[in-house]
Structure 1
Amino acid sequence: MSDDSTTGTDDTGQQHDGHHDTATPQGSSFHGSHARDADGTDTCSFHMAGSLPAGGDHLGGTFGQAPSSLEGWYPQRLRVELLHRNGIDADPLGADFDYAAAFATIDLEELKRDIKQLLTTSVDWWPADYGNYGPQMIRMAWHAAGTYRIADGRGGAGTAMQRFAPISSWWDNGNTDKSRRLLQPIKHKYGNALSWADLMVLTGNCALELMGLPTYGFGGGRLDAWEPDEGTWWGPEVWDPHHVESQDDMVQRDERWTGENGDADYDLQSPLAASHQALIYVNPEGPYANGDPMGSARDIRITFSRMAMNDEETVALIAGGHAFGKSHGQVPAAEIGPPPEIAPIEAMGLGWHNPQGAGNGKDTMTNGIEGSWTQDPTRWDNSYLENLFGHEWEQTKSPAGALQWTPKDPDAPRTPDAHVPGETHALMMMTSDIALKVDPAYREVCERFLADFDLFTTAFSKAWYKLTHRDMGPKHRYLGPETTISDDLLWQDPLPDAVGAPLTDADVDALRQAIRATGTAVSDLVVTAYSAASTYRDSDKRGGANGGRIALAPQKDWPINQRTVPVVETLRGVKATFEQGGKHVSLADLVVLAGCVGVEDAARAAGVDVSVPFTPGRVDASQEQTDIEMFEWLRPIADGFRNHVSERFADFAPGVAPEAVFLDRANLMTLTAPEWTVLTGGLRVLGANWDGSSTGVLTDRVGALTTDFFVNLTDTDLVWKKTDDTETTFTGTVQATGEERWTASRNDLVFGSNAQLRSIVDVYAGSDGQERFVRDFVAAWDKVMMLDRYDVKGHRRYGPMAA
């Protein structure tokens, strides 16, 4: 990527073994090794379970000091409060703000003219390299989007999280704070009609266009976050160039890799994507700054594949991004001031103060490497690849001491100084650039791009579009006049247009009766609808019931979905019979409606009449519209809602407690703690375990929507005992008689052991809890069924239909 970029890797060589839906750190005895804030606080919803409770007050210090927070005192505490982050109370725009309507008031062409004028208007406090801010804005947009990872869908440009710690203060984001500050006049001119997230990506597009690249398109619609993301785990180690004494020190600090670079078992912990903490992709100097191009290529391939890019897209992004701008390395890292989050208050949110010279312009320091890749760093051309393959390169060092590469040929072309007219410098390559030349697969792609500049141009344009839109979800969420791309892209999880007339109320009533007439058990109807809808993750808006992919590979073949297969076949019969009358119903709609029927019948069996909302309009995707490899990342290794823990859980999530993964799943589904609790209790009594087992069901009236789960979970006549040393399954025994009454998992008992969750359970376990429980379960159920219905919800963050 341009201007101090660090690069990453492809996707085709990755094995997808069904362990990608949740983050899986490494560690031991259910405590793992995880990222921590400066005070030692854990920062991921799924890594906060810590070690298994040892009984009593298990106090934990903070880096050898007395604990200063709740997490410091009780490091194994499940941080349920993460479900309530970034809520309405933090949003100054309020629940009724309609971003789509506001964005529609913008004249996009005028906005782009304003941005392009800013890009070529240099200011004294941060002079533009070559008189053009375009390269540094490309880097800003790239680094905002480049945090995306396919394993759990987190990261990406979608909420402008680059404004907040920790991302704002990662070493690899050095001086992106200046880019955003330069854009402040544009943001203030257009106000709330233009989110920071959209502005950052659009500015990257404008920069590319200004320098000659025909971009593939732009879709607005990104909603800004209003507080830092405390629910994403970015890695176990602390990597800070200011405090690294040696390469060995870096290796010791880095715990995210398994195996040695080049070995068969060399890989990143899931769900991590960047090669090192505080980097966007890989270390541009090679693994641990060792200058090894082949080792860098291996890191690149793993890293970019974790970000959903294949070999061609990887080369296109690196070669395309490095066609522009320069890298800055005039001053050693140890001399640069602290990042924005811990800079002095008078710095007003700007960090990385450089005390040398002017501190900017020709004295700028960012990643430590100094120089440019091309002879004309503000023009789109093929000179990056021509230079890379047209010269032999030797390893040198920058003024800051970073490893980089210089042409061996003294007569090689030179690049102009970014600020001093008439002055020139030798060309530069990073170790991560040389990697493209030495890796056979990357070299083959490079050679194709060298031979066909138009092919390269198209590949980079499309890869950039994917990079900056990958986390936005369905294409119909995109806003603005530049979204009318003629072809559907497979990574967008395309959906076909609706067929036939919309279902009427009479149609829906007839289908309800037809579903009941099949005699399918309530439990099977419920688990099938839930299995279809619960693949949704709000992080990148993927998954959900729309598209009917529960009936397609790979989802239909997942062991966790074994109960859904015969139900789907039964519903196909309902569909066929209904369509004999000349009407149409999608299988996706039928699956959801069948679940709603099951919930209604279950509520009636519990003595409560209720109408479960159903909103038709879903469509059925084809197998050709479904990227099996990419959907495989949605397969859970554990799903507490269906009381599922894979046999491979311990291998893929060593040291992680199942209830921590359960919390993470609730988080990805945007559930509140009450919604998480009520859904679990309801699914249990409805018999919705993935395998039909009685674990955690805690009722003798399976299929009736009762409060029995909560009542029996909190029964003081029971004592719970672990069944073996794994501490994953338990037996509830009547204290007076010794009778074994129930079996349960950690995903059940957490609702009785965690203080915050138990307080919610008490609401439903009381004598007056039944009707409230049914009402709240139905509301939570409807929310889950509608999680992916952006065609209905639009672009409001809150409200009755919002996720």
Structure 2
Amino acid sequence: MDAKTGDISGGCPFNGSVDMRNLLGRTNRDWWPQALQVDILTEGGRSANPYGEDFDYAEAFNALDYNALKADLTALMTDSQPWWPADYGHYGPFFIRMAWHAAGTYRTGDGRGGSNSGQQRFAPLNSWPDNGNLDKARRLLWPIKQKYGKNISWADLFILTGNVAIESMGGPVFGFGGGRADVFEPESVYWGTEEQWVNEGVATRIQPKEGKALENPLAAIQMGLIYVNPEGPGGNPHDPEGMARDMRETFARMAMNDEETVALTAGGHAFGKAHGAHPADTFGGAPESEDLHLMGFGWLNDADEIASGNITTSGIEGAWTPNPTQWGGDYFRLLFKYDFELVKSPAGAHQWQPINPDPEDMAPDARDPSKKVPTMMTTADMALKWDPEYRKISERFLHDQAALDDAFARAWFKLCHRDMGPKVKYLGPEVPQETLIWMDPVPQGTTPSDAEVARFKAAIMDSGLSVRELVKAAWASASTYRNSDHRGGANGARIRLEPQRSWAVNDPEELGRVLDTIEAHRGTLSMADAIVLAGNAAIEKAAKDAGFETEVPFLGGRGDATDEHTDAASFEPLEPFADGFRNYLKTKAQVRTEEMLIDRAHLLGLSVPEMTVLVGGMRALGAVSKHAHHGNKIGVLTETPGKLTPDFFRNLLDMGTKWAPVDDSGDEEYVGTDRASGEEKWRATRTDLVFGSNSILRAQAEVYAESGNEGKFVCDFISAWNKVMNADRFDVTWAKYH
């Protein structure tokens, strides 16, 4: 990993020596077996969304009285409630932590996590140790959410509240973009395999002496943390190199470079305090484990303890600065002014305290401003002083407040918006004018005429390129899309740029030749449109050759990105380690190959039928990677590749074929032999055979293998193909909101 750029190139996204438990790890049912299970009510495709699937949140947001909402949020900051009094009389720091922890789960490895759907309301996030007592922050917001209803999602409200909190304390804000729609049940995200939370004797996920790296796609250092253990690696405050290493690794996996890491740490800790009044075991459990009558509250519920400020969350106790509700340069001033000694908080946590602080550098008590208490730093804070690279940045910010203001505002904006996708999705009056490179900008395209579309389709089909080649190129371009953070996709045609052009899964030599031919024939079409349109034309020919005259829908108007529009390093995590649709697997992984197919289909937003028909169609078209198990025909279970037929399913389910592993060396490649003659008929992979072995997928495959469903197969394939090709067309679907 490049610590400065956050490049996390190479390597299996499912490495390590652990069972990934179907890409989910520990589930909510594992953690809280007594919790009420309501997911049975969403079986069979039933939605948990009370607004219905046709609810248009963007339209509702645009009808919001935005200024009134911000005014109400500003008033809330100092409207201290007796059931959870505000530290220093100001809820701002509390709400900043809430927003930070809503957004901070984002990771670049698979684009999951983040603030985009309001997941902090649900288990396991609502009960993570690092989210201790944020249940109270959400309840403080409930009257405002109730007032504005469907016009503001919880997901947007979390982030906007954090922005208002910063503004109310004089801090810098770069902007705000609304448009995050809520979900109403926990999303399926792999958070790790550990069976214990942080601070329960669990080691950090990075253990260099044991040769253990942080497992992809994870970003947090321990189960139940957003980032790192603030006391040090595994709670050890005597490992400064390890502390900086952990910070650099985890922040990079959340799309932050060194400067952004320093700015966020210092900017966030300019406000508020940490809480470690008593050992954590003197309080209650997390919300998901608490009694019914507590109504979803967890951790601390004793009114007397709350009133006196005896609160424990991280276990660390104290404020970082003498002015915890005012933005300024005190954080770096104190960090470099004093030597620090290691002490323990009342809760027993390791922290650092300035030696002989001046009275004016002490902080007010959170409940009694007439009292003064020492400030503190965590081991993570001290790393900004200990680590040479972090120190250079910190010293620059110490002497240049304007630089810190700008860096924090930009880094906070990135933290809160990284998973929203392209800027066209941002709504509201505070969307910044500046377009940042991490937004993956694409120049506006021009919709081609029908005549130009027809001309190009005829030219490309007469160019000598095969159906297989054109379909593979279009799929390679569009299938990079991830609905987790809305990155990738065909718009921009980044398939012709590095690093995507050279990804092994894309058969770079073949792809280069195909792209050169498309370029030579595209005329006034953008390359992004031409690549997709070429794939469409190939599918139309394949359908015609199978006996079906059809037209694949085409939505033109894509633009072409350039190298200047592209943060190349940030696209490395989008490289597929496995792509079951092209029957590609880089190397054997700890996760079953068919599970990685399910994961990729989930990121593409596909249903089970859509995934199934796409796999069958891609096999029939011969659109598999040449790198797929050292062959380019494996899984192509048809005598007529290039025709859009359901042969893959018919031959896979043929009882005249007997399947067995190719040899004893592994279970990735299989040979199908004729039961009567013993002659070899086909070669296939786990990804192929799962459509015959898994009962749910077999039920799908049987539909397409049935006589009379050939037309359905063609129509369903085209529909699913069109969905993938246009998954990233927010320039069209969101245009009406601007």
Determine if the alignment matches structure 1 residue 89 to structure 2 residue 35. Answer: no
Decide whether aligned partners of structure 1 residues 268 and 522 sit closer, same or farther in structure 2, where only a CA change above 3 A counts: same
* Structure 2 residue identity aligned to 1:523: R
Q: Distance in 2 between matches of 1:504 and 1:32?
A: 47
Q: Tell me, yes or no, if the aligned pair for 2:7 and 2:570 is still in contact at 8 Å.
A: no
Choose the corresponding residue for 2:17, options 16, 26, 30: 26
| 1:405 match: secondary structure | strand
How far apart, in 1, do the equivalents of 2:357 and 2:723 lie?
66
**Corresponding position of 1:297:** 244
Q: Confirm whether residue 235 of structure 1 aligns to residue 192 of structure 2.
A: yes
Deviates more, 1:348-357 or 1:559-568: 348-357
Of 77, 80, 83, 1:119 maps to 77
Where does residue 213 of structure 2 map in the other structure?
267
Deviation at 1:383, TM superposition (A): 0.2
Q: Give 1:701's aligned amino acid.
A: T
- In the TM superposition, what are the counterparts of 1:502-513 in structure 2 within 5 Å? 502-513=447-458
For the residue of structure 1 that corresponds to 2:47, the secondary structure is helix
1:242-287 deviations in Å (ceiling 9; x for gaps): 8x3xxxx323xx5x33433xx9x55201111000000000011111
Asked if 2 retains the 8 angstrom alpha-carbon contact of 1:524 and 1:688, the reply is yes
Alignment partner of 1:267: what SS? coil
Q: C-alpha separation between the residues in 2 aligned to 1:764 and 1:134?
A: 57
**Structure 2 Cα separation of the partners of residues 86 and 111 of structure 1:** 38
What residue in structure 2 maps to residue 161 of structure 1?
Answer: 119
Alignment size in residue pairs: 723
User: Could you report, residue by residue, the CA deviation over 1:272-323 in whole angstroms, capped at 9, with x for unpaired residues?
Assistant: 1000000000011111111133321111011101111000000000000000
Within 5 Å, which residues of 2 pair with 1:784-799?
784-794=724-734
State the partner residue of 2:393.
Answer: 445
Shift of 1:660: 1.0
- 1:12 is matched with 4
- Retained in 1: the 8 A contact 2:582–2:623? yes
- What SS does structure 2 have at the residue aligned with 1:90? coil
Alignment RMSD (CA, Å): 2.3
What is the DSSP-based 3-state SS (H/G/I as helix, E as strand, rest coil) of the residue aligned with 1:633?
helix
Deviations 1:71-100 (A, max 9, x none): xxxxxxxxxx99x99966111111221111
Match of 2:260 in 1: 313
Equivalent residue number for residue 285 of structure 1: 231
Whether contact under 8 Å (1:274, 1:282) holds in the other structure is yes
Cα deviation, 1:116-145, whole Å, max 9, x if unaligned, reads: 001111111110011110000000000000
Give distance in 1, aligned partners of 2:400 and 2:46.
51
Q: 1:633 to 1:478 in 2, by over 3 A?
A: same
What is the CA–CA distance in structure 1 between the aligned matches of 2:660 and 2:730, rounded to whole Å?
A: 45
Matches within 5 A, 1:184-203: 184-203=142-161
Q: Is 1:701 the counterpart of 2:640 in the alignment? A: yes
Distance 1:596 1:38, change over 3 A: closer
Question: What displacement does 1:682 show?
Answer: 0.1
Partner of 1:425: 373
Over 3 Å counting, the alpha-carbon distance change for 1:538 and 1:31 in structure 2 is: closer
**In 2, Cα distance between equivalents of 1:94 and 1:132:** 37
Contact 2:499–2:571 (CA under 8 A) maintained in structure 1: yes
CA contact (8 A) 1:25 1:34 kept: no
- The 10-residue stretch of structure 1 (776-785 or 485-494) with the greater mean CA deviation from structure 2: 485-494
- Indicate whether 1:751 and 2:677 are aligned: no
Counterpart Cα distance in 1 of 2:61 and 2:513: 45
1:354-389 C-alpha deviation (Å, 9 max, x unpaired): 548433551111111110000110000010010111
Determine the C-alpha separation between the residues in 2 that align with 1:445 and 1:420.
35
Distance (Å, rounded) in 1 between the aligned partners of 2:357 and 2:176: 42
Partner of 1:681: 616
Q: Does 1:257 align with 2:248?
A: no
2:658 aligned counterpart, secondary structure: strand
- Maintained 8 Å contact 1:449/1:455: yes
Deviation at 1:214, TM superposition (A): 2.5
Contact 2:583 2:625 in 1 (8 A): yes
Q: Within 5 Å, which residues of 2 pair with 1:298-697?
A: 298-355=245-302, 357-360=304-307, 362-411=309-358, 413-483=361-431, 485-498=432-445, 502-562=447-507, 563-575=510-522, 578=523, 584-646=524-586, 649-650=587-588, 653=589, 655-691=590-626, 693-697=632-636
- Are the structure 2 counterparts of residues 88 and 31 from structure 1 closer, same or farther at C-alpha, using a change threshold of 3 Å? closer
Q: Distance in 1 between matches of 2:328 and 2:319?
A: 14
Q: Using the alignment, how far apart are the partners of 2:75 and 2:552 within structure 1? A: 54
Local SS of the residue matching 1:441: helix
Letter in structure 2 aligned against 1:116: T
TM-score (norm 2): 0.94
* 1:166-194, Cα deviation, whole Å (9 max, x unpaired): 11100000011110110011111111010
Structure 1 residue aligned with 2:655? 716
Relative to structure 1, is the Cα distance of residues 661 and 186 closer, same or farther in structure 2, using a 3 angstrom cutoff?
Answer: same
Is 1:35 paired with 2:25? yes
- Structure with higher RCO (Cα < 8 A, 6+ apart): 1
Judged with a 3 Å threshold, the aligned counterparts in structure 2 of structure 1 residues 88 and 33 are, in CA distance, closer, same or farther, namely: closer
C-alpha offsets along residues 700-727 of structure 1, whole Å, 9 cap, x if unaligned? 1000000100000000011101012211
Q: Matched residues in 2 for 1:239 and 1:386: separation? A: 38
Matches within 5 A, 1:717-736: 717-724=656-663, 725-736=665-676
Q: Distance in 2 between matches of 1:10 and 1:350?
A: 41
Q: CA deviation at 1:426?
A: 0.5
Query: 1:513 Cα deviation (Å)?
Result: 1.4
Contact 2:473 2:511 in 1 (8 A): yes
Structure 2 distance, partners of 1:438, 1:352, is: 34
The one-character-per-residue Cα deviations of 1:312-345 (angstroms, maximum 9, x if unpaired) are: 0000000000000001111211112111112111
Q: For each residue in 1:227-247, what CA deviation from the matched residue of structure 2 results, as whole angstroms up to 9, or x when unmatched?
A: 012x211112133368x3xxx
Question: Offset of 1:488 from its aligned partner?
Answer: 2.0
Contact 2:539 2:644 in 1 (8 A): yes
Alpha carbons 2:483, 2:603 under 8 Å: kept: yes
1:131 lines up with 2:93 in the alignment: no
Distance in 1, Cα, partners of 2:25 & 2:735: 32
* Structure 1 gap segments, 5+ residues each: 1-8, 44-61, 63-68, 70-80, 579-583, 797-803
Gaps of 5+ in 2: none
TM normalised by structure 1 equals: 0.87
Deviation at 1:221, TM superposition (A): 0.5
Task: Describe the shift of the 1:778–1:259 C-alpha distance in structure 2 as closer, same or farther (beyond 3 A).
Answer: same
Take 1:258 and 1:587, find their aligned partners in 2: how far apart are those partners? 46
Distance 1:220-1:387 versus aligned 2 partners, 3 A rule: same
1:232 is paired with a residue of what secondary structure? Answer: coil
Q: Deviations over 1:36-57 (max 9, x none)?
A: 136549x9xxxxxxxxxxxxxx
Letter in structure 2 aligned against 1:451:
H
| SS of residue in 2 equivalent to 1:250 | coil
Judge conservation of contact 2:172–2:408 (CA < 8 Å) in 1: no
Secondary structure at 1:363's aligned position in 2?
Answer: coil
Task: Give the whole-Å Cα distance in 1 for the aligned partners of 2:2 and 2:79.
Answer: 37
1:181 correspondence with 2:181: no
Kindly, what percent of the aligned residue pairs are identical?
49
Name the CA shift for 1:34/1:478 in 2 (closer, same or farther; >3 Å). Answer: closer
The AA in structure 1 aligned to 2:134 is T
Asked if the contact 1:548/1:587 (under 8 Å) is kept, the reply is: yes
